[in-house]
Amino acid sequence: MIEHKIEKVNFDKISKDRKEYIDENLLEIYFDNFLFKFSWKKYLYWDKIKFQDIPKQLKGAEELWYVIKKMRFFSMPTHLKDEKGKIFKLWKPDFIEELLHKLDLKLGWNFLNVELSDAERKIFLQNGIAEESISSSQIEGALTSSKVAKEMIAKWRKPNTKDEKMIINNYKAMQFVKDEYKDSKLTLAWLLELQSILTKGTLDEPNQVGRLRKDDDEIVVQNSIGTKILHIPMKEKEMKEELQKLINFANDEDEVFIHPFIKATLLHFWIGFLHPFCDGNGRTARTIFYWYLIRKWYWGFSFIPVSKAIYESKKQYADSYIYSEQDDNDLTYFLVYIANKVIQSMDEFEDYVNEKIKKQKIMYMELSHLWMNERQKKLIAHFLKNPKSYTNTTIHKNHNSVALNTAKSDLIDLMNKWFIYREKQWKYVNYFPVLDLKDKTW
């Protein structure tokens, strides 16, 4: 039994005469009072609707909700169903169509129409994957700060805690998808391998890695402090049957075209709803979302960390699952939530890139008199702002997505020009800025 149940309205309390009046004037009431605003970018549930202003034709919040629910009835069925066989449905608010158009225009290889060099694309790509890996892990409770996690990935430092291990696993999984499986079809074996990459070395029960859950595992979804049950997944037998349908759906074995973003979102929800593993379901769902969009050539999703926006609104993320399941299997709640997070991520990334380009132009002007390549100028600019920091060939290689020999050549050249010096620390050779670096760059 689910212990966390959303409040529902008993429409039987609305009289027969009132229902007949509303049904006869439904479209007029709905459009004259702009009630579609409650089913647009904010797809509101009853817990918010009951506090809204009531149109003059209606008597109370219950009648307002009756009108909204009536209009939401015109939704399309999806491939998903619950343990009772009831189909999940979906409605596309108008702003979703606008978003799909933007995705088609902006998230292909000419990402956001921003002019970037190949080197810059590689850097932004690595940063995006790192940020996505960190945030996706933080959603599941990883306590490592973003700053520490980014340094760990950049320096490829061995993780010291389970939280750090979770982040490194996520990073490996993202690379695994991007480099090895972006052109492959989904299979159960690959899904198990993905969950294994994500969870290896992070679970209290190692035998839960790389396998499907069983009924005697008694897996339930609880709130963050474990006081309420939010979702009880269907039984093992039904779950395996639905999981095969999910795999077929992901491999486009149905004949009906569904826009890749909507399909990826359905896959995201479906895995979370089925909960096929003992642990790692959320991370697997978000990675499959990423995989499907990359497979469909929406390369921009490699750059924008959607999980960062989700992490910043974890309660709304959980609520979108709860509302979708408990409000008559209306998956629109989840679609609208993910769509808004993608819009937010795109806007934030575009601002970030433009600011980086602006700062880069200033840096190039300030260091234009120095005979250095682009990577070296960035490093010197970093040292000028962070005189106590350091680098090494591995960090320089990873940050710039270049070969190891190229990274070595960059650093040795700067050392020979007396901009940096090197010092052996344990088994590493690290490079530090010279004390008078500022004077040397004038």
3-state secondary structure 177-231: HHHHHCCCCCCHHHHHHHHHHHHCCCCCCHHHCCCCCCHHHCCCEECCCCCCEEE
Q: Are residues 221 and 83 in the same domain?
A: yes
Q: Among 351, 377, 405, give the residue marking a domain's end.
A: 351
Residue 3 resides in a domain: no
Q: Are residues 108 and 122 in the same domain?
A: yes
Pair of tokens at residue 312: 């910043």
The full 3-state SS of 27-42, as one line of letters, equals: HHHHHHCCHHHHECCC
The alpha-helical segments, DSSP class H, found in 368-441 are 374-385, 393-400, 404-416, 437-440
Residue 269 resides in a domain: yes
How many domains in the chain?
A: 3
Pair of tokens at residue 276: 């096929």
Strands 229-231 and 420-425: unpaired
Q: Tell me what pLDDT residue 242 has.
A: 96
What does the mean pLDDT of the chain come to?
87
Q: Are residues 90 and 198 in the same domain?
A: yes
Report CA torsion sign: 143, 147, 150, 151: negative
Q: Is the pLDDT of residue 286 over 90?
A: yes
Rounded distance between C-alpha atoms, residue 365 and residue 359, angstroms: 10
Q: Among 74, 105, 121, give the residue marking a domain's end.
A: 74
Residue 1 resides in a domain: no
Q: Among 48, 74, 100, give the residue marking a domain's end.
A: 74
Which of 72-81, 189-198, 322-331 is predicted with the least confidence, judged by mean pLDDT? Answer: 72-81
Q: Is the pLDDT of residue 355 over 50?
A: yes
Q: Is the pLDDT of residue 116 over 70?
A: no
Q: Are residues 313 and 417 in the same domain?
A: no
Q: Encode pLDDT of 298-317 as tens digits.
A: 888 877 888 888 989 999 99
Residues of the chain above pLDDT 70, percent: 93
Pair of tokens at residue 164: 């750090």
Q: Are residues 137 and 44 in the same domain?
A: no
Q: Are residues 316 and 388 in the same domain?
A: no
Side chain identity at residue 247, one-letter code: I
Q: Are residues 148 and 282 in the same domain?
A: yes
Q: If you count them, how many residues does the chain have?
A: 442
At residue 330's C-alpha, the angle toward residues 327 and 331, to 5°, is: 130
Pair of tokens at residue 422: 């090197």
> If you average pLDDT over residues 19-42, what whole number do you get?
93
| CATH number for 275 | 1.10.3290.10
Q: Are residues 91 and 150 in the same domain?
A: yes
Q: Are 174 and 168 in contact (CB under 8 A)?
A: no
Side chain identity at residue 106, one-letter code: K
Residue 299 resides in a domain: yes
Residue 21 resides in a domain: yes
Rounded distance between C-alpha atoms, residue 26 and residue 64, angstroms: 11
Element (H, E) at 335: helix 332-367
Q: Is the pLDDT of residue 24 over 90?
A: yes
In terms of Cα–Cα distance, which of 294, 301, 296, 282 is closest to 180? 294
Residue 388 resides in a domain: yes
Rounded distance between C-alpha atoms, residue 348 and residue 361, angstroms: 20
Residue 2 resides in a domain: no
Of residues 133 and 271, more confidently modeled? 271
> If you average pLDDT over residues 164-190, what whole number do you get?
88
How sure is the predictor about 190, in pLDDT bands with cuts at 50, 70 and 90?
Answer: very high
Q: Are residues 97 and 217 in the same domain?
A: yes
Which of 18-27, 206-215, 352-361 is predicted with the least confidence, judged by mean pLDDT? Answer: 352-361
Q: Are residues 148 and 278 in the same domain?
A: yes
> If you average pLDDT over residues 333-359, what whole number do you get?
86
How sure is the predictor about 64, in pLDDT bands with cuts at 50, 70 and 90?
Answer: very high
Pair of tokens at residue 25: 């004037």
Render the burial of 340-369: b for 16+ CB within 10 Å, e for the rest: bbbbbbbeebbeebeebeeeeeebeeebee
> If you average pLDDT over residues 86-98, what whole number do you get?
90
Rounded distance between C-alpha atoms, residue 32 and residue 117, angstroms: 51
Instruction: Find the domain containing 434 and state its range.
Output: 369-440
Q: Are residues 65 and 153 in the same domain?
A: no
Pair of tokens at residue 336: 């609208």
How sure is the predictor about 110, in pLDDT bands with cuts at 50, 70 and 90?
Answer: low
Q: Is the pLDDT of residue 118 over 70?
A: no
Q: Measure Cα distances from 387 to 242, 393, 435 in Å.
A: 56, 18, 8
| CATH number for 391 | 1.10.10.10
> If you average pLDDT over residues 163-174, what whole number do you get?
88
Residue 357 resides in a domain: no
Q: Are residues 233 and 338 in the same domain?
A: yes
